[in-house]
Structure 1
């Protein structure tokens, strides 16, 4: 029976399992985002009062780019393969650059940028903890 925080820490699964759960949670979010992007492209959902064919070309390009990238990254993260993590990190950095360096085209979204940086930091922490746990188990 878990009666304290220490008991919870001692009975947790290995960090590698926690990392897999985390990556699959991110994969579900990316899959949902990719489906929303595709819904915009085919005309099911409008965005900020505009249909896809009425949007500026730069925004159309970004939507198509992330519609494909989100589903590819989601697949890779769900399968827990290295290229999935690389695609997800690439996607995060593209969004960050898009909403900072090119904010005049795509708008400023500080909460979204904070979310991406936070998810990357959590990933880095879990990867570090998993590596440390694997090194302790090996020797």
Structure 2
């Protein structure tokens, strides 16, 4: 019996796909960490004068509330390797990039966060391209 018919080895992920799964889980931990940080800000354990929800400016209330919910949600999707996980992560990354790069006078400049999101997006795209090209190659 051939491998395809018997099912042995027919659906084993390649090394690249396995590395991609571990990459997504690493990003999931990163998202969970950021989600916890936003919750810490919302409940007031963050050092600073206006870092409790009722003392925050409205623009920070909106941004922190959205990101406190979306980051753990993205972490769950990425950890489960669900197709919607990277989409939710992209929403979080785009939101923070707009906050810190687009409105630095309101949210401050946090270029390391913007750079980290850019790096993760580039690595994600590279993985997806490699997986795409490997699947398009004819079986030898």
TM-score relative to the length of structure 2: 0.81
Partners in 2 of 1:132 and 1:64 — Cα distance? 39
- Once the two structures are TM-superposed, the CA of residue 138 in structure 1 deviates from its matched residue by 4.6
Does residue 69 of structure 2 align to residue 58 of structure 1? no
Higher helix proportion (structure 1 or 2): 1
- Aligned position for 2:74: 73
- Aligned position for 1:46: 46
Larger Rg belongs to:
2
- Once the two structures are TM-superposed, the CA of residue 48 in structure 1 deviates from its matched residue by 3.5
Unaligned runs of 5+ in 2: 1-13
- 1:23-34 matched pairs, under 5 angstroms: 23-34=24-35
Partners in 1 of 2:78 and 2:97 — Cα distance? 20
- Once the two structures are TM-superposed, the CA of residue 50 in structure 1 deviates from its matched residue by 3.1
- Aligned position for 1:10: none
- Tell whether the 8 Å contact from 1:15 to 1:130 is kept in structure 2 after alignment: yes
- Aligned position for 1:120: 121
- Once the two structures are TM-superposed, the CA of residue 42 in structure 1 deviates from its matched residue by 2.2
Partners in 2 of 1:30 and 1:22 — Cα distance? 12
Say what the alpha-carbon RMSD is for the aligned residues.
1.7
Aligned length: 126
